[in-house]
Amino acid sequence: MNTTRGFTGRPRAARPGLPPGQYDAGDDWPVLSAEVTPEIAPADWTFRVGGLVAEPRTWDLAGARLLPAAGYAGDIHCVTGWSKFGVRFGGVSLDAFLDAAGPLPSATHAVARAHTGYTANLPLADLTGGRAWIVWEYDGQPLAPEHGGPARLVVPHLYFWKSVKWIAGLELLDHDEPGFWEQNGYHARGNPWEEQRYSGD
C-alpha cells in the first residue's frame, strides 16, 4: 500500500452501504452529463421497447402512468465518486414495459437510448426482476430536467451513468453493444461494489 505522507482523510465512521472508493454526497445531487440539458415537454416524451421482442411497443407519459405504480427507495452511486443515500424515485417497474413487449428468448442485452441520442448498454438480466425502473418523480415531485425529466431509467445497483436520463427506448439485442461512455473507456457493466469504473477494472 502506498500511503500518502500526512494524509489522514476526514474523520469518518464506517458507512454501511457505501461502495469502495465512494463518498457520501449528503444532500447534494451533482449533475453529471456531458450534453446540453434538453427541453422535452412531458406531452412529447415517449418510451419505446423494440429490437428482439414479440411486439415493439411505444408509450407516452399518460400511457406509462396507466401501468402499476412502482418506485425505488434506496441509494445511488456515481462513477465520479459520490453516492447518495435514501433517494426516492416514483414511476413504473421496467418489468411492466418488458412484459408488454415480450422479449424473445434470443435477447440477452439491451441498449438504452436517450431522446438526445446518449446510449448505455446493459445485460438484460440487470434490467429485469424488479431491479430497474422508468421514473418521473423524485421525492414526490416531477423529475427535474437536469436530472433526466420528464422521465429517466434507474438501475440503482449499477453506476449511475447506466441510468439513462431522458430515456427514449430500449433496444433488445442478442449481443453486447457498448454505449456512449463504454466507448469512451468506461467499464461494460459498472458494478459499484466491484469498482468496475473503467475498462480494465
Partner 1 sequence: MTETATHTAGATAPTPPARFAVPGRIEVNGRVAGTWQTATLTGIRRETPRASTFRLAVPGWAGHLPGQHLMLRLTAADGYRAQRHYSLASAPDDSGHIELTLDRVPDGEVSGWFHTVARPGDEIEVRGPLSGFFAWPGDRPALLLGAGSGVVPLMSMVRHHRARGLTVPLRLLVSARGPEELIYAGEFGAETTPVFTRTAPPGTPVGRLAAAHVAPLLAEPPAGGWEAYVCGSNAFAEHASRLLVAAGQPVDRIRIERFG
Ligand X SMILES: Cc1cc2nc3c(=O)[nH]c(=O)nc-3n(C[C@H](O)[C@H](O)[C@H](O)COP(=O)(O)OP(=O)(O)OC[C@H]3O[C@@H](n4cnc5c(N)ncnc54)[C@H](O)[C@@H]3O)c2cc1C
10 touching ligand X, by CB under 6 A: yes
Residues of this chain, 83-112, that bind partner 1 according to CB under 8 A: 100
**CB atoms < 10 A from the CB of 90, how many?**
19
Tell me whether residue 73 or residue 174 sits nearer to partner 1 (CB atom).
Answer: 174
At a CB cut-off of 8 Å and minimum separation 6, what does 15 contact? Answer: 24
Q: Is there binding between residue 184 and ligand X (CB under 6 A)?
A: no
Residues 42-61 that bind partner 1 (CB under 8 A): 46, 48, 50, 54-60
All cell numbers assigned to 191: 458494478
Beta bridge partners of 72: 89
Residues 114-173 that bind partner 1 (CB under 8 A): 114-119, 146, 168-169, 171
Residues with Cβ < 8 Å from 77, sequence gap 6 or more? Answer: 19, 22, 83, 84, 156, 159, 160, 192
What's the rounded Cα separation, in Å, for the pair 45 and 61?
A: 6
Residue nearest to ligand X (CB): 80
**Smaller CB separation from ligand X, 18 or 100:** 18
The partner in contact with residue 48, picked from ligand X, partner 1, none with C-beta cut-offs of 5 to 8 angstroms by kind, is partner 1
136 neighbors 143 (Cβ within 8 angstroms): yes
AA identity, residue 149: G
Site residues for ligand X per CB under 6 A: 10, 23-24, 80
Binding site for partner 1 (CB under 8 A): 1-10, 12, 21, 23, 28, 30-38, 46, 48, 50, 54-60, 62-64, 66, 80-82, 100, 113-119, 146, 168-169, 171, 180-181, 183-185, 197-201
